[in-house]
Amino acid sequence: MSEQVVAPRIRGFISLTAHPEGCAANVRGQIEVARAAAEGAPALGPALVIGSSTGYGLASLLSACFGYGAPSVGVCLERPSEDDKPGSAGWYNLAEAHRIAAAEGRTLRTVNADAFSSEAKEQVAAELRAMRGQVELLVYSLAAPLRRDAATDEVWRSTLKPIGRDWTGKSIDLRRNRVTEATIEAANEDEIEATVKVMGGEDWAEWLRWLGAEGLLADNCRSVAYSYVGPEATHAIYRAGTIGRAKEDLEATARDLHAQLAPGGGGVWVSINKGIVTQASAAIPGVALYMSVLFAVMKAQGTHEGPIEQIARMMRDHLGPGVTPVTDDEGRIRLDDLEMTPEVQSEVARRMAAIDTDSLGELSDYAGWQRYFQQLFGFGLEGIDYDAPTEVHRLLV
């Protein structure tokens, strides 16, 4: 037991602390949305989510487990609470998900280990065997800064850089809340290759191959990984940059693997998702500004969605039991359809061209972006008494 008052300590796109009760409230809110969206839907067999503790992966885990009743295993890399030392936000998210699952008699297990390691795969296999289950849904939602090769110990680091020439564009200085010009130098070939190694499709394919070889993949398994396309304003830094190269590799992997699972009634897809505030997306230069403007425009049009709304829609319309995925010409699921409408994008482009520090509040929802960012770490939520001590030592029961 260790009760403490936990205060926010946010530095740019890093938060040094996380509030256990705030994170728990976030998770309860997402579970409510997941349940409502899947009401009456048929149950899903075992689900495995790689990158299950925050962002799109957490939403996927909650949707599978609480919406579709899937016995679920998640893999993540989080800092547990230890003695009187607080844990990370992802840890607290999963502590609450585990608590509710246990209270409702649901099966939810977490493997807190490096997803690129063979130990993580062995632990997942043990959990699946204990469930006597074969995976029917595999969600690959890693956003990792680095990958250590399981065999050679070689380390690759992903970078967020343009390719071909340096990028200069509008960005938000998150420490000073100012619109600035940021410049990022172009990546070299090694950086491009390393980013593809970390964020491309190789490890996803390895998980599918390995589960198949272990007899842990259902014939009708559906697998999805997440990608992003986005508008012209972010192209140089995202889609045409190092991360975009990795996403092209991820999408090529899906096309290759799809043919292998399709005969059994399953399949492999990439879902192009909407931009949302997560630890991973906050680190991409220029993206916080674009998202702040995007949220203002989408909220005004009543089409704004967060991670759980996106994933609930993906399951309902594309990947839930008995539903046939609808894809674009390249075989991709498009959850970014509402973000990418010409009406939204032309208004976003107009505002992006005009925006500066003075007009930040008027032309964008930067205040909303900041609120979402704090909420990732359990801060700024209604109904939480932030002055009260809270138990920071929480277990994944």
What whole-number distance in Å separates Cα of residue 208 and Cα of residue 225? Answer: 12
Nearer to ligand NAD, 3 or 232 (CB): 232
**Contact positions toward ligand NAD, by CB under 6 A?**
51-57, 75-78, 90, 114-116, 141-144, 226-228, 273, 275-276, 278-281
Number of helical (H) and strand (E) elements in the chain, helices listed first: 14, 15
User: Which helix (H) or strand (E) is 197 found in, with range?
Assistant: helix 189-199
∠ CA 156-158-161, nearest 5°, is 140
Q: Please, what is the minimum distance in Å from the beta carbon of residue 32 to ligand NAD?
A: 20
What whole-number distance in Å separates Cα of residue 302 and Cα of residue 299? Answer: 5
Exposed / middle / buried, residue 225 (Cβ in 10 Å: 0-12, 13-18, 19+):
buried
Contacts of 394 (CB under 8 A, 6+ apart): 20, 81, 87, 91, 92, 95
Nearer to ligand NAD, 41 or 368 (CB): 368
CA neighbor of 111 nearest in space, from 78, 137, 88: 78
Closest residue to ligand NAD in the complex (CB): 55
Nearer to ligand NAD, 253 or 279 (CB): 279
Q: Please, what is the minimum distance in Å from the beta carbon of residue 137 to ligand NAD?
A: 16
* Tokens matching residue 290: 């674009």
Q: Please, what is the minimum distance in Å from the beta carbon of residue 320 to ligand NAD?
A: 19
Nearer to ligand NAD, 279 or 390 (CB): 279
What whole-number distance in Å separates Cα of residue 289 and Cα of residue 282? Answer: 10
Q: Is 92 a catalytic site residue?
A: no
Q: Which of 140, 226, 228, 238 is catalytic?
A: 238
Q: Please, what is the minimum distance in Å from the beta carbon of residue 227 to ligand NAD?
A: 6
What whole-number distance in Å separates Cα of residue 303 and Cα of residue 313? Answer: 13
What phi and psi, each to the nearest 5 degrees, are found at residue 82? -135, 125
Nearer to ligand NAD, 167 or 228 (CB): 228
Contacts of 359 (CB under 8 A, 6+ apart): none
Nearer to ligand NAD, 43 or 146 (CB): 146
Q: Please, what is the minimum distance in Å from the beta carbon of residue 146 to ligand NAD?
A: 7
- Alpha helices in the chain, H assignment, sequence order: 20-37, 55-62, 89-103, 118-131, 189-199, 202-213, 232-235, 242-261, 279-282, 287-301, 307-314, 342-354, 360-363, 366-376
CA neighbor of 14 nearest in space, from 372, 374, 275: 374
What residues are annotated to the active site?
238
